[in-house]
Structure 1
Amino acid sequence: MPLHLLPIRSAGAAENMATDFLLLKRYPETGDTPAARFRHYGWHRPAFTFGYSQKIAAVRAQLPGGGEDDPVSGNRLELCRRPTGGGVVDHRDDWTYALVIPRGHDLEAARAIESYRAIHQALADALAAQGANVRLQDPAGQPGAAAFLPLPDTGNSGDASRRRSGTNAAAPAAASVCFVQAEPFDVIDARTGQKIAGAAQKRTKNGLLFQGSVWCPAAEAALLPAPLPPPPLRRRVRSTATPFTTPSPPRSPACCVWKPKRHRGPTLPKANSMRSPGTTPRPNGTLFANPCRTRPA
């Protein structure tokens, strides 16, 4: 199945939620095989979203300042209902995305908890490739328990979705806050258990809408520290010093030390080698003519 990656853009809370829903309801198809759609986006102002089944009064009670103004920036908070379920999500410092799976795909036909696990496993693998120490929240700590446990707050919308997920649980009466407690198959920090990523789903006759959020501070805290030098290097460094000897400071190579040379002047041939016939050397090494020898006529 092809995948369409849509452009990144920022908008208000109402426009972002409407765009995600239209990607599910009225996306133009150009080929015989419908394509999956993926986008991630930003927010014009501080925003909160809440699930389709939540009560607005209960939601406002969970927001800072009663949902009027952001106590940090002073800007007015935006509040909007999502087409999917779930609790209250703070979008002031998160990475938000939407994935639409059309009808006919195995992931769309699977139960809600299975699609939730598969998509979050792909997200956890992507975070691990960036150096984050993450894993999925274990449902009840028992292998295979996910097949029998309902997904408490992932947004299984409508009776058809509840039948697919194998649960008839009603929507919660109180507004829950996302990233406070991890649900089964949420992405969490493997060391601290802090929730990093959550999501909500909605299934219709057009397919599956999956809205997810990655909490950036928690994801940054899960990054692993820089790796240490390899063990062979550490052993080699330790082997240069013993309890009985003190390692001497490193010496410069001989080729890098400059030594001045003494100037001896030009090298001249020995005086005796320059003697010509009719000359004898003086005691001090100089040459002089032999007065007793006569030149031939």
Structure 2
Amino acid sequence: MKYFETWDYPGSLNMAIDYVLGSFGESFLRFYTWKVPTLSLGVNQRPKNINFKFIKEIGYECVRRPTGGRAVLHFNELTYSIVIPKTHEYFKLSVLEFYKKISQIIVEGLNRLGFPAKLTERVQNGNTSACFDAPSWYEITLNGYKVVGSAQMRTKDFILQHGSIILETNNEIKYCFKDMKNDVVQYGLDQHMKIDIKKLKNTLFETFNNYFNLEKLNEIEKIIEKAETAKERFVCREN
């Protein structure tokens, strides 16, 4: 599996990279961060209740993911994405089986760092537009709160799954919607202890490497070039 990381890219480019990776016919793992706090919506989520005025005034971005799920404010987090082509043995896994496999690896890495993270074995119903309002099957919780939220898309050629590992607890997402409840919080790893993002990334790299035999990719120009041509489709606008 090819591995690379990107730091502080714009939201639309981050989404485009994840999407175009599926066109290369190879398996990839990427860790990345965001240039500015960015609200991402699921591919089928309606933007009608988004407070675009607030987002623009504060300097946030808004993007639409190629995957499903509800809204996430990408803010003080490490994001992962994994792409599996149809030739990979994991391609035959069901949606939930794939979620479980990847979540187990992330939990293992978090446990190695001293976080008592666990897999969720049941669905809790969320009442808002926010992804971190409630955990779903095989998502990751810490002290009962969801701290890793993931989403997936499938085509006949590849599976893409990406997700947010929240480092610092925050409630800023409530300001991004006109009708969000005041008690909606994105809980982070810091509720147990603070962690340096590079230390987290390195430990997760080692853990994933045990399962996928990662090969660091130094030349990513072709990927970025292809993503640049696709990024506009992931920009979320008011009109």
**Does structure 1 retain, via aligned residues, the 8 Å contact 2:43–2:65?**
yes
Shift of the 109–122 alpha-carbon distance from structure 1 to 2, 3 Å rule, reads: same
One-letter code aligned to 2:41: F
Shift of 1:175: 6.5
* Structure 1 stretch displaced more, 83-92 or 177-186: 177-186
Partner of 2:116: 133
What whole-Å deviation, never above 9, does each CA across 1:116-165 have from its counterpart, x for those lacking one? 1111011000100011011111226xxxxxxxxxx989xxxxxxxxxxxx
CA RMSD of aligned residues (A): 2.4
Partner of 2:34: 43
Partner of 2:192: 222
Q: How does 1:95-244 map to 2 (within 5 A)?
A: 95-139=78-122, 176-189=129-142, 192-217=143-168, 218-223=188-193
What whole-Å deviation, never above 9, does each CA across 1:219-277 have from its counterpart, x for those lacking one? 132349xxxxxxxxxxxxxxxxxxxxxxxxxxxxxxxxxxxxxxxxxxxxxxxxxxxxx
* Gapped regions of structure 2 (runs ≥ 5): 169-187, 195-239
* Aligned counterparts of 2:60 and 2:89: Cα–Cα separation in 1: 39
Shift of 1:66: 4.2
Of the three residues 91, 94, 98, the one matched with 2:74 is 91
Partner of 2:12: 14
Shift of 1:106: 2.9
The 4+ residue runs of structure 1 with deviation greater than 4 A are: none
Shift of the 35–24 alpha-carbon distance from structure 1 to 2, 3 Å rule, reads: closer
SS at match of 2:48: helix
One-letter code aligned to 1:188: T
What whole-Å deviation, never above 9, does each CA across 1:35-77 have from its counterpart, x for those lacking one? 420111121112111110011113x15x8x643333xxxxx11
Q: Residue 68 in 1 paired to residue 56 in 2? A: yes
* Gapped regions of structure 1 (runs ≥ 5): 28-33, 71-75, 141-150, 154-173, 225-297
Partner of 1:281: none
* Aligned counterparts of 2:128 and 2:48: Cα–Cα separation in 1: 9
**Does structure 2 retain, via aligned residues, the 8 Å contact 1:133–1:223?**
no
Larger helix proportion of the pair:
2
Partner of 1:272: none
* TM-score scaled by length of structure 2: 0.67
Shift of 1:110: 1.0
Shift of the 54–175 alpha-carbon distance from structure 1 to 2, 3 Å rule, reads: farther
* Structure 1 stretch displaced more, 174-183 or 3-12: 174-183
SS at match of 2:31: strand
* TM-score scaled by length of structure 1: 0.55
One-letter code aligned to 1:210: Q
SS at match of 1:86: coil
One-letter code aligned to 2:164: S
Bigger-Rg structure (1/2): 1
* Aligned counterparts of 1:214 and 1:203: Cα–Cα separation in 2: 22
Which protein has greater RCO, CA pairs closer than 8 Å, 6+ apart? 2
* Aligned counterparts of 1:77 and 1:220: Cα–Cα separation in 2: 23
Partner of 1:52: 43
Residues paired across the two proteins, number: 175
One-letter code aligned to 1:69: E
* Aligned counterparts of 1:222 and 1:103: Cα–Cα separation in 2: 38
